[in-house]
């Protein structure tokens, strides 16, 4: 491949028959051309890289082509077609609304459209990212659309149709461009590789299609990155690194930080890795989906390490899914991918009641507190080891019988530990929403009475949060096993 070759330009469709994945749009436009029933204004809406500008150029060629085919395709051989392909055609004017968005720019445009086409039948204005125009510019443009000059056609392209005034949209023929399917992008990639006389492993091609997220342009851009440095011994992980692809390990790392409340670390990783936000969200949704199914079935139906969500209830995972789905919809119609993703992390932390570590200093302080709590726990249990051994022995029974109140209490207690100070039991839980549930008046009263009934002693209950706490329930099984062995040796009932 030549170093000067830009793939997405080289393989950009030059006639309607080469356009992939927009069959309805192409069919209607061809029929209008063949029937000479051409509107004065069109608006093409769709996400980036779906072919809006390419189709607009083909349309401009077709209506000015000197040798139009019977199927509505431009010939690409006449002078008009050649000039449009080379970018030198005077009757095709492309405007970037992001940098020409003011009323003065539109006034200048209005002055120019009064002149007749230089060489073709129609003068065509393609205004890309039209939603970026100011309100005054839209109002000025509106007058032109109401009384369009003869032989002038406007084609507006936008990724955010909601930002275009309805008064403009209603005066245009609207066409919605769909994201390309996996099959369509893979077909295009195979065609390009064959044309460039090169090959890629199937897993790398699959990665390129996945990252493209329905965008032909993105797939060609990423393919070019790979081909520019590709070697036959290049590993899949190397390609992931080149393309900044958020693989499953990155997804797990981010969600581990979110669940632990380390928002600062989350934001640093998102910014420093420059990830594809849409792909990250989709990978997160797939990971959470598999984790939810494993939780529901109570065994690893999917062979994944989902320990990051071990202490998160399914209903809270559903909350995370809904937040991510909402974020995915937002980024489809805006450029604020990273901002929307950051907001979604804050929403997850807020809705799950996760305690946020606000700074590195606080992280260090918390580690110090954790060590103090751990030492205090060991000391308390040592002091009361003989006096309150019954509570250790019967903690499993307490967990089991707490199901009569509700299953959440049982689940929370099974993932907790405790320490004893005189007549007080301090239950240590990993999350603040566990604490909120356990210290609620009815829950606290039920648990206090349950412990009294089982152990035979009344305790005052309190609760603290420590995300690194190790559930005591795992150790209780060992204690109960030892107790049963003692009974067997001494033949006790």
From first to last of the 493 residues of the chain, give the pLDDT tens digit: 555 568 888 999 999 999 999 999 999 999 999 999 999 999 999 988 999 999 999 999 999 999 999 999 999 999 999 999 998 999 999 998 888 778 888 888 888 888 888 888 999 999 999 998 988 889 888 888 888 888 899 999 999 899 999 999 999 999 999 999 989 999 999 999 999 888 888 888 888 888 888 889 999 998 998 888 776 667 777 787 778 777 778 899 899 999 988 888 898 888 877 777 888 898 899 899 989 998 888 888 888 888 888 888 888 999 999 999 999 888 876 667 888 899 999 999 988 888 776 655 555 665 565 565 555 544 444 434 434 445 677 788 888 888 887 767 877 788 788 888 778 888 888 777 778 778 878 888 888 888 888 887 788 888 888 877 766 654 444 434 434 443 444 344 4
Plot region of 76 (φ>0 → left; ψ -120 to 50 → alpha; else → beta): left
User: 288: number of CA atoms within 13 Å, CB side?
Assistant: 25
Residue 36 inside a domain? The answer is yes
Q: 329, 351, 373: which is the final residue of a domain? A: 351
Task: Based on the fold, state whether residues 333 and 423 are members of the same structural domain.
Answer: no
Number of domains in the chain: 4
Task: Based on the fold, state whether residues 422 and 482 are members of the same structural domain.
Answer: yes
Contacts of 341 (CB under 8 A, 6+ apart): 270, 277, 280, 281, 327, 331
Query: What is the tens place of the pLDDT at every residue in 394-453?
Result: 788 888 888 887 767 877 788 788 888 778 888 888 777 778 778 878 888 888 888 888
Residue 414 inside a domain? The answer is yes
Task: Based on the fold, state whether residues 12 and 161 are members of the same structural domain.
Answer: yes
Q: 176, 196, 229: which is the final residue of a domain? A: 176
Task: Based on the fold, state whether residues 323 and 444 are members of the same structural domain.
Answer: no
Task: Based on the fold, state whether residues 334 and 404 are members of the same structural domain.
Answer: no
Domain of 125, CATH number, reads: 3.40.50.300
Tell me the pTM.
Answer: 0.60
Task: Based on the fold, state whether residues 396 and 295 are members of the same structural domain.
Answer: no
Task: Based on the fold, state whether residues 227 and 260 are members of the same structural domain.
Answer: no
Residue 189 inside a domain? The answer is yes
Task: Based on the fold, state whether residues 147 and 164 are members of the same structural domain.
Answer: yes
User: How is residue 203 written in tokens?
Assistant: 């897993």
Domain of 338, CATH number, reads: 1.20.272.10
Task: Based on the fold, state whether residues 382 and 433 are members of the same structural domain.
Answer: yes
Contacts of 329 (CB under 8 A, 6+ apart): none
Residue 1 inside a domain? The answer is no
Helix axes 248-259, 277-297, angle to 10 degrees: 70
Q: Which domain holds residue 375?
A: 361-489
Task: Based on the fold, state whether residues 403 and 367 are members of the same structural domain.
Answer: yes
């Amino acid at each position: 491949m030549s170093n000067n070759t830009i793939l997405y330009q080289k393989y950009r469709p030059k006639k309607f028959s080469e356009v992939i994945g927009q069959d309805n749009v192409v069919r209607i436009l061809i029929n209008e051309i063949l029937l000479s029933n051409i509107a004065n204004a069109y608006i093409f809406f769709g996400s980036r890289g779906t072919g809006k500008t390419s189709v607009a150029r083909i349309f401009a060629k077709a209506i000015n082509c000197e040798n139009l085919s019977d199927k509505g395709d431009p010939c690409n051989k006449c002078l008009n077609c050649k000039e449009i392909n080379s970018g030198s055609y005077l009757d095709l004017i492309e405007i970037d609304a992001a940098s020409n968005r003011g009323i003065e720019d539109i006034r200048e445009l209005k002055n120019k459209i009064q002149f007749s086409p230089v060489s073709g039948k129609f003068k065509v204005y393609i205004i890309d990212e039209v939603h970026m125009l100011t309100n005054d510019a839209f109002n000025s443009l509106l007058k032109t659309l109401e009384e369009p000059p003869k032989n002038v056609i406007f084609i507006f392209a936008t990724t955010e149709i909601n930002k275009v005034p309805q008064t403009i949209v209603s005066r245009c023929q609207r066409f919605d461009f769909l994201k390309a399917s996996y099959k369509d992008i893979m077909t295009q990639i195979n065609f390009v590789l064959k044309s460039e006389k090169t090959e890629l492993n199937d897993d790398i091609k699959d990665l390129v299609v996945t990252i493209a997220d329905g965008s032909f342009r993105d797939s060609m851009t990423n393919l070019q990155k790979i081909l520019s440095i590709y070697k036959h011994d290049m590993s899949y992980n190397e390609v992931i690194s080149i393309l900044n692809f958020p693989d499953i390990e990155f997804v797990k790392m981010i969600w581990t930080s979110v669940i632990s409340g380390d928002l600062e670390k989350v934001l640093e990783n998102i910014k420093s890795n420059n990830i594809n936000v849409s792909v990250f969200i989709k990978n997160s949704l797939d990971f959470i989906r598999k984790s939810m199914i494993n939780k529901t079935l109570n065994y690893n139906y999917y062979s994944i390490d989902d320990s990051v969500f071990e202490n998160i209830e399914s209903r809270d995972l559903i909350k995370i899914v809904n937040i991510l789905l909402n974020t995915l919809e937002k980024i489809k119609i805006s450029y604020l991918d990273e901002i929307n993703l950051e907001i979604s992390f804050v929403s997850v932390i807020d809705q799950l009641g996760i305690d946020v570590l606000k700074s590195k200093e606080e992280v260090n302080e918390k580690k110090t507190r954790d060590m103090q709590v751990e030492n205090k726990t060991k000391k308390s249990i040592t002091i009361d080891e003989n006096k309150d051994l019954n509570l250790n022995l019967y903690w499993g029974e307490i967990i089991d019988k707490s199901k009569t109140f509700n299953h959440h209490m049982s689940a929370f207690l099974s993932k907790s530990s405790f320490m004893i100070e005189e007549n007080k039991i301090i239950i240590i839980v990993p999350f603040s929403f566990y604490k909120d549930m356990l210290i609620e008046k009815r829950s606290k009263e039920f648990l206090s009475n349950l412990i009294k009934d089982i152990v035979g002693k009344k305790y005052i209950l309190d609760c603290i949060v420590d995300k690194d706490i190790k559930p005591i329930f795992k150790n209780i099984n060992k204690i109960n096993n030892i107790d049963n062995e003692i009974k067997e040796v001494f033949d006790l009932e």
